[in-house]
Structure 1
Amino acid sequence: MSDQEFLRYPDLASRTLGGAVVHANDEAFAERENLIRPGRATFDASDFGHKGKVYDGWETRRRRTPGSDWAIVRLGVPGLVRGVVVDTSWFKGNYPPEISVEATGVEGYPTNAELEAATWTTLVPRSPVGGDRDNLFAISPESEAGSRRYTHVRISMHPDGGIARFRVHGTPVTDPRLLVTGGLDLAALENGGLIAGCSDEFYSSPTNLIGPGQSRNMGEGWENARRRDDGNDWVEFDLAGQGHIRLLEVDTSYYLFNAPGAVSLEGCDASSADPGRPDSWFPILDRVDVRPDTRHRIVVDSPAATRIRLNVYPDGGVARLRAHGVLTEDGYADVWLRWVNSLPTSQAHGALTGLGLSPTDVESVLVTRPASKLAELPAILAEAVRATRPVS
């Protein structure tokens, strides 16, 4: 592979994919998080702060003892690394003379201590770099290092200095254990999910939790006030329809020092139980510790639910909640009924004829609305609904 060819692969470490700089031994002059920001680094020659010249990158202090400085990046999407870019833009008299890059693959959401104790594989041996430029290092896919799936990458500077951006280009390799849904995000606003209740929304709205895409900063999640009692904060969600949750995603991205210490999730089937009664709720995810600035993906297998409650302990911010799963037969029918019942008449003609209904059948639907169950719809429409339901 040429020095340039690997650039066509996605940057697996990018912040926009959920990457994070989880640990660094030093960031005295410029913070480590800049390493994986999207876009090129910027520079203002007149911009000075209390610590000196402000750099859009990661910069450590001048080292006076033996050793090297390093930062660990959790890949937003684990995969095979095809090459890395060590971008030293604007670092002209303070770039590192040499760098090295290692990688590791670990289960779950390791602590910093667990990462330091992990087994690391060398991707780029100690190599010279230049200042104020893109330093490219291709990794052969035929090599042992290039044929493994990694979750974390460590970049080291020998002995110290500054790096503007660090790109890790490669091929994503998904974890098949997480491919269990066969469905959709039951909580997503765009799929019909809604906020049903919240203990506290002092800083930002819980509706952000089920918005589309990933959050871009701390203000795009849900953050509550600091709790000073023995309780915990929570948010309740009405799901798009009755369904079974198979995969949870609790995303604490950008919450570095104000993430919850732990979370749990409960469910309730409001079609047969009163959500106002404590005994109507059942556990979906028992209390589990969570990490700051991390997308947690957790396999679950819930009973049928129409409402869920996310508990955070004791408080703290969450960027997104995803509840991937499959609708039950009743839940699927309810989603269709909600849509059919709410279609404007002018749209209903085009939408329903597109499903194979005749003009006469469409009129039958319109006079039937609002239908409360599938059996009330004309048989041809009810059959079309059943035929389109995915196999769970």
Structure 2
Amino acid sequence: MTDPTTPSSGWPDLARRDLGGAVVWANDEAFAARQNLVAPGPPVFDPTTFGPNGKVYDGWETRRRREPGEDVAVVRLAVPAIVHDLAVDTSFFTGNYPPEVAVDGLGLDGTRHELLAVSPVKGDTVNVFAVRCRYPVSEVRLRILPDGGVARLRVYGQAAPDPALVDALGVVDVASLELGGRVTDCSDRFYSSPENLLLPGPARSMGEGWETARRRDDGHDRVEIALACEATIAVAELDTSWFLHNAPARAGLRGRTAGGVWHELLPRTDLTPDTRHRFVLGDVPPVDAVRLDIHPDGGLARLRLHGRPTAAGRAALVARRSGPTPEDTP
């Protein structure tokens, strides 16, 4: 099932471990390890599990403070990003959650930016906060006041990759979460999130892809993706690895131009189960969004859209990396 912490804004979590996020430091993890904060799935709880340090929690938990202060964990994002939402998930922490939290971010120039002022949180709750800061940050610092446990920290935003790196690579996967691609619409998330399509690396099981429920009507399923920037796509990769008996029978791709017109990039094409398909698209216009239609339903492991950013697309990457101009700042 889709992680219930995802806010309605739809930005991806760029702190998650399977994307490359990591908890690089914490001042205390006496009861539960800091790396649990960025585990990709929702937290779980077993009331019977106890370890040598006490109750085992799927989260980060510090010891009881007997002096003034606060506890801190530092999370390196998978890629520098403009943060739009934060979720401080205290699931299963009922008598040992922190009453207040705060979050700041480290800017690319070393400046600290406040993402969330000291704010109250509830126990056993996904506490979601909107963020107003529009400077890209490479890491975030979670402060819990004074101590306690947090199951997950989700940092939702848009990746701000280095344009020089994109230039050096030439052809890049412009749907990648690491570059700023994101899912904007999806017909069905029954078994797993469509964001899995855009994760780096190959899927290691069927559970790491996107899978829909079985259709009992004449329709079909789809997912729409905003690209990292406007680009001309040269090769589309539709990977059905691990989907042995539930891959789509066929799939097609359409792309949206900057003027809002949708063009066919790949006509409806037969797919083979458990196979990585690569299609050369030929002469297609630059697009800033792509819609994948699968017929009638099923699952894919990954979707890659290899292309070159246009001049306008590269300019958008530069602007995102630079942060807001003075007139953009409230």
Q: Which has the higher helix share?
A: 1
TM-score by length of structure 2 reads 0.50
TM-score by length of structure 1 reads 0.42
Q: Rg bigger for which structure?
A: 1
